[in-house]
Amino acid sequence: MKNSFIREHLNKKNGFISVEELANSLLVSKKTVYRMIKDKKIISIKLGSYYAIKISSVKKLIQEVIV
């Protein structure tokens, strides 16, 4: 119940994405996304056991990789 509330309020419209959504978008495993969070390559907010990842930090990471 708590996780569904968090997902509902921290969604793409508010500039956040879940670990699973990012993993699916980048075609990587969730473990890889957790590693990017740990290595501070992307910005996230931890609420309990749920991570909300800032979409702008993902865009920045992708731009750095492309350039």
User: What amino acid is encoded at 10 in this protein?
Assistant: L
∠6-3-27 over CA atoms, to 5°?
Answer: 90
Q: Give me 47's structure tokens.
A: 């609420």
Q: Check residue 29 and give its pLDDT.
A: 97
Q: Which residues of the chain have pLDDT under 70?
A: 1-13
> Taking a C-beta distance cutoff of 8 angstroms, is the pair 8, 52 a contact?
no
Q: Check residue 1 and give its pLDDT.
A: 42
Instruction: Report which of 43, 34, 39, 48 is spatially closest to residue 15, judged by C-alpha positions.
Output: 43
